[in-house]
Structures are given as structure tokens and as C-alpha cells.
Amino acid sequence: MEQDKRGFLWVLNARKLHRFDGRNFVVYPPPTDTSGSKIELIFLDPYHDSLLLLLSPSHLYLFEPKAGQWQSFPVPAPQGRKAVLYGAGPLENGDYGVYLFSENRDTLNVYAFNGQRFDRRLHQNIPGVYWKSPLLLPDGQLLLYQHTIEKHSPDERMQPRVFRTPSPEEGGLMNISPAAHGMLVVLKKTPATDQVFNWDPETGIFTFHPANRFLPRSNLYLSATLPVADGSLWLCGRDRNLAYYDAAQDTLFDFSATLKEILPNVNDIVYPFIDKTGTVWIVTQLGMLKVALPEKAFSQYLSKTLPECNGYCSLRGMAQSPQGEVFAAYYHGIARIDPVHKGVRSFYTSGAYPIPLPSGLYADEHGLWLN
């Protein structure tokens, strides 16, 4: 998903390019190939200021959104072998590095595309890539990850370096995403839970991401992340799993239960996207979602001293009724809180009986139950 200079959103869905104007989708088909068959698009990224770069298995395309014009560049098959385009990444000099797998995916080449042609090969005939995922860094270094991370230099005289996450659990690396200041966010899936790390590719040092503390308590099944500049993090995955770690509030918002109410059918969350206005869009297998984050994670109640205990209150339990009323139990009584005005509406005491009041409350349509 990308946004052009006019504000339109461009989305790849079902291997087709769609333009979204805020209300409707319009499909923009690429030109047919020489056999007359339809092109299936597999990759989308911005190219400089005004173009979109797209890939099919056999061609690279530059698309000019305003005029709707396509340019086509065939794949540079190495040594006469059939090869398949897979993805691409921007380089520091403005070129793009394009991943080219052999047909049986046993070998990987990376070519540089300069806007006119594929002018040089950055990485040549890397073997044994099979199920590994590639990520090209802006300086031309290539990461290949599955259970470990291999870092390949464009200088063929240098041997690849191998990095492992510090956690002892066995697992696969699901996703690596660029973050601020040259850092990367690494998502690891273990049999017990998902784990998120910050990783410095220069030093090779891993540190646990703050969001990691919340993941063992969640039921998320994650497959991708989108780091935000302030240290916050979007996390998404299979079957309507979506969460947001707010760095400023050190809080994880889990939207999965809400999405399963809104979306009745199984729907994988593919990727989050933040447009130029700061609006968050979520790309799913069946469409797009627009997300509005809450301004703050917590609501504050009882900001004033309770006169019944002169402010020295020991909170014993809380409950909320189906009507939205909030109750809090203390040694001195039970406070009935107005959720709109955030203050105590009434206070119930035990009267003349000097006994501690309940340590647990439960509210339902019949009333308030005390434990």
C-alpha cells in the first residue's frame, strides 16, 4: 500500500493494483504480456517522488499515477536460466535493489535498477536460499532470515555473518522491519509465544522490545510489524489479530476482540500503513480498515479525596454493571461512581457494624454481588 502526491491510496489486492479515493476503489490493470495473458502483480513501493514501482514474476513496472502510464522492464535472467522476481528495496543512491530467485528458488541474485535498466548485480548466485526471506538494507547489504539472520556484503570477498536472537527458545523469524536510526525490529515465533526484538545490524546486538513484555499474556498470532518513529509498534497477524504498542504510555492495545465483532469471517491482517496525514490503514485479505487510536489509554476516577475515609481508603475490588456504572469496594464502604463525571455518585456503608467490607464485587442485571 502506498500514497501518491495527490493523496490517493494505491493498494495491491488479489494481485491487482487498486486506487482508493476515500470512498471507492478503481482497478488499474498493467499492459498484457506478449502471450496476451493477464499480469499478476506481487510488489508495490514508491519510486522517487511521483512514480510507483511494481513487480510481476517476470517484469518490473514503473507506473505514473496521474497519467496512468506504464513502463515495462523484463527480468534479467542470469546465465540463461529462468528466474522469478520476488521483491525489492530502496538503496541510498536512489536506485532499487531487486530480488531475483531461480525458478526452483535454490539461488538468489540481487540486481540494481536505476530507473532506466538493470545496470549491475549487487549479489550473485547466493545458494541455499529456499525458505529464507530477503531484506536489502540501504547500503546494499542483504539479510536472509529464517531461523537465523545471515548478513551478506556486496563485497564478495567478505564472508556472510550469522546472527541469532538471545532467547534460547527455538523458533522461526517471521518478519524484519526497518525502524528509526538504522535499527531493525525482528519478530520471532516460538512454540510458546511471539517475541519482538530491536536489532542493530552494525553491532549485531539484540535487545528485547518493550512490547515484548505484553506478548506472553496475549493470544496474538503475529506475522508482521510496522515500527513508528517514537518507538511505538504496530503488530498484525492471522485471523483478525491486530495490536498497537504505545511507547509514550507503555501500553499494548489489542484490537483482536473488536475486529472479530466487526468482521464475522476469518480475515488475515496483512500489513498496517500510515498515510501522510497520520491516518492508520490496515490492509486485510478482504479489504481495508481505518483505525482511530484513543487519545489516552486510561481514564482516571476518584481524583478527589473521599470524605468517608478522609482520603485514607484501601481499595478492595471493582466491578462495572451492564449499564456502565462502576463500583469500588473499600474497608469503609462501597462507592458508586458516575463514569461520565468521573466522581462518586453515592457511598454505601455497613452502618454500625465495624467489619471489613467485601474484597470482591460482581455486578449484573440483578444488582451488586459481594464476596
The last residue of a domain, from among 263, 298, 333:
298
In a domain, 22, yes or no: no
Q: How far is CA 107 from the centre of its chain?
A: 29
Q: Which helix (H) or strand (E) covers residue 355, if one does?
A: none
Q: Are residues 185 and 291 in the same domain?
A: yes
Distance separating alpha carbons of residues 291 and 258, to the nearest angstrom:
11
Q: Which amino acid is at 286?
A: L
Q: Are residues 259 and 334 in the same domain?
A: no
Q: Are residues 225 and 268 in the same domain?
A: yes
Q: Are residues 283 and 346 in the same domain?
A: no
Residues 308-314: contacts with CB within 8 Å, 24+ apart? 308/332, 308/333, 308/347, 308/349
Would you say 96 and 112 are in contact if contact means Cβ atoms under 8 Å apart?
yes
In a domain, 279, yes or no: yes
CA-based Rg of the chain, rounded to a whole angstrom? 27
Q: Are residues 261 and 338 in the same domain?
A: no
The last residue of a domain, from among 244, 271, 298:
298
Q: Are residues 339 and 294 in the same domain?
A: no
Cell 523469524 belongs to 173
Cell of 48: 522517487
In a domain, 55, yes or no: no
Q: Are residues 294 and 321 in the same domain?
A: no
Q: Are residues 266 and 357 in the same domain?
A: no
Cell of 25: 476503489
The pLDDT of residue 167 is: 82
In a domain, 282, yes or no: yes
Q: List b or e across 41-77, with b for residues whose CB sees 16 or more CB atoms inside 10 angstroms.
A: bebbeebeeebbbbbbebbbbbbebeeeebeebebbe
Q: How many domains does the chain have?
A: 2
Q: Are residues 323 and 260 in the same domain?
A: no
Q: Taking the CB of residue 114, how many other CB atoms lie within 10 A of it? A: 13
Q: Are residues 335 and 272 in the same domain?
A: no
Residue-range definition of the domain harbouring residue 341 = 315-370
In a domain, 206, yes or no: yes
Q: Are residues 293 and 319 in the same domain?
A: no
In a domain, 155, yes or no: no
In a domain, 135, yes or no: no
The last residue of a domain, from among 241, 269, 298:
298
pLDDT in tens, the chain (371 residues): 999 888 899 998 888 899 998 889 999 887 776 555 678 899 999 998 789 999 998 899 999 988 888 999 988 876 667 888 889 999 999 999 999 998 888 899 999 999 999 989 999 999 988 889 999 999 999 999 999 999 999 888 889 999 999 887 888 999 999 999 899 999 998 888 889 999 999 999 999 999 998 887 666 788 889 999 899 999 998 889 899 999 988 989 888 888 888 888 888 888 899 998 888 998 888 888 888 776 665 566 666 677 777 766 777 788 888 777 888 887 777 888 877 776 777 777 766 555 566 667 888 888 888 77
Q: Are residues 253 and 341 in the same domain?
A: no
In a domain, 78, yes or no: no
Cell of 35: 502471450
Q: Which helix (H) or strand (E) covers residue 257, if one does?
A: helix 256-262
